[in-house]
Amino acid sequence: MQARVLLVSSEAVPLVKTGGLADVITALAVSLRKLDIDASILMPGYGVAVAHAEADATTAPLQPLALPRDLPGGPARLLRGVMPGTDVPVLLLDTGRFHQRSANPYIDQSGNEFSDNAICFADLAHAAVAICAGETAVPAPHVVHANDWHAGLIPFLLKTAGLNHVASMLTIHNLAFQGNYDWALAGQLGLDRDAQAMSSLEYWGKISFLKAGLQHADCVTTVSKTYAQEILTPRFGYGMEGVLNERRAALRAIPNGIDSKVWNPEADPLLRHSFNVGDMRGKTLSKCDLQDMFGLLPVDPFAPIVGIGSRMSHQKMADVVLQTLPTVLDRHERMQLVVLGCGERSYEEGFLDLACRYPGRVGVHIGYDEERAHALHAGCDMLLHPSRFEPFGLTPLYAMRYGTIPIASRVGGLTDTIADVGMHGPAGRGASGVLFDGETARDMEAAIERAFALHQDAGAWRAMQRNAMHTDFDWQTAAAAYVDAYAAIAATEAKPLFARKAPDARVALEQAA
């Protein structure tokens, strides 16, 4: 008998992706299955997700499974299949509301949150609980692993339903997003429980999906050592620091990993030219490909290219980036800039305006696709990745794999994964990037100038590239730490199923904590 884990998330690659969460979910599931854990994914059946899954169902079509009860939002069913490109079983919650959603599952074309988000993600939680209760054709998991606020109601619903044979974990990928909704929605969300239970969900007069998970999960994890400490403070706790300090004994830090097979410059099917730390000629050719892809002129392999690949949001300091870049572009006439991402409309318009002001030197693509992302990491010299807070920071790790040097804020997981070169003097031994403090244009400009100065020193730059490309954050260490955490919270009869799968997991977890 295998240990069973159900990962519940609002997105997962390759079906739907708006950020790093999607990468994490699928990569973790794949890695758990390599450890002989029966890991599967439950996510919303957005129209684009169902269409993609059906198009890639080469062995069998999606299998409809009945849900014996209506969800808060109405009738629903499960569609069972396999995550494309993996052996991971995936369950898509097919509802009328989810099916209508397209590329961005959270906000409409005007950039506003969908008005029925609370009901949609309550549906996801109730569906997970139905699976845990054995009400479907899907075997009940031993552990349900909820991710971010979208799945935050699951631990609460499990506890109030008395389903104590299924353990629950909540992973915080971004504490700033909490799923706080009007208390009057409680009945519509299927939360009309006793007053004492409901009081644990209250957050400033609202129902908080995230607080539900923080209060009731058997284990709470987050995705880097530094962020796990930061969220206990008012600056980074976003109002939840009190709850988190109360549950400090249940809080673990398990750093994310990256899929080194997907992000591999030696064998990347999305690139025309391969390269490695010993032969970087392919990176030079990839620069030219990137310039051509984004319409940069001239196509010059020696022009320094700075890339930005992230959400265009306040968290990612898009406001400061837009203040800073004109000064840097004016000072460095050969510099070129590539921007890939989407987000708040005002920031999108700001980057598009920047491209108009600097034709041929600034290329912007609003949206996301894997080919452009891989091209950006392979072809850029530097990655600008500022952030007011950063739980982990996958994008700089992708960049470093391709010898692209990150310029990043000294916060959260970025502090743990990027070896800072320092703002003055020669490059330190082992350095792989430039970290900076502060949130002003002056702070960011100084860090960019530091990177440009290092870029002029071919020897120092090459050493940094070697260090960056040797950075190792494979998922297997993280997966082993998760297995150890699952074993700690699983019901007595299920503990041995987890404990025997990863005998070295405790060591990995202690290193991560």
For the chain, the structural domain boundaries read 4-250, 281-469
Amino acid 59: pLDDT: 60
What is the pLDDT, as a whole number, of residue 197? 81
**Residue 504's pLDDT is what?**
53
In order, the DSSP letters of 59-123 are SSPPEEEE-SS-BTTB--EEEEEE-TTSS-EEEEEE-HHHHT--SSSSB-TTSPBPTTHHHHHHH
* Beta strand pairing call for 89-94 and 77-82: antiparallel
Q: At what angle do helices 20-34 and 394-401 cross, to 10 degrees?
A: 70
How much of the chain, in percent, has pLDDT values that exceed 90? Answer: 85
The SS3 assignment for 422 reads: coil
User: Rounded distance, CA 328 to CA 332, Å?
Assistant: 6
CATH topology of domain 4-250: Rossmann fold (3.40.50)
Q: Which of 52-56, 133-137, 342-346, 359-363 has the lowest mean pLDDT?
A: 52-56
Q: What is the pLDDT of residues 80-120, one digit of tens each?
A: 999 999 999 999 999 999 998 876 889 887 778 999 999 99
Backbone angles phi, psi at 19, to 5 degrees: -165, -165
Q: Which residues of 30-66 are buried (b: 16+ CB within 10 A; e: fewer)?
A: bbbbebebbbbbbbbbbbbbbeebeeeeeeeebeeee
Q: What are phi and psi of 405, to 5 degrees?
A: -85, 125
The pLDDT of residue 343 is above 90: no
Q: How many residues does the chain have?
A: 513
- Domain 281-469: CATH superfamily, name plus number: Glycogen Phosphorylase B; (3.40.50.2000)
Task: Tell me if 4-250 shares its fold with 281-469.
Answer: yes
pTM across the whole model: 0.91
* Backbone conformation region of residue 205, classed left if phi is above 0, alpha if psi is from -120 to 50, else beta: left
Between residues 59 and 390, the one the model is more confident about:
390
Whether the CB-CB separation of 175 and 237 falls below 8 Å is answered with yes
pLDDT single digits (tens) 111-154: 789 999 999 999 999 999 999 999 999 999 999 999 999 999 99
pLDDT digits (tens, 9 = 90+) for 26-40: 999 999 999 999 999
The residue assigned the tokens 């009901």 is 119
- Strand bridging mode 202-203 / 77-82: unpaired
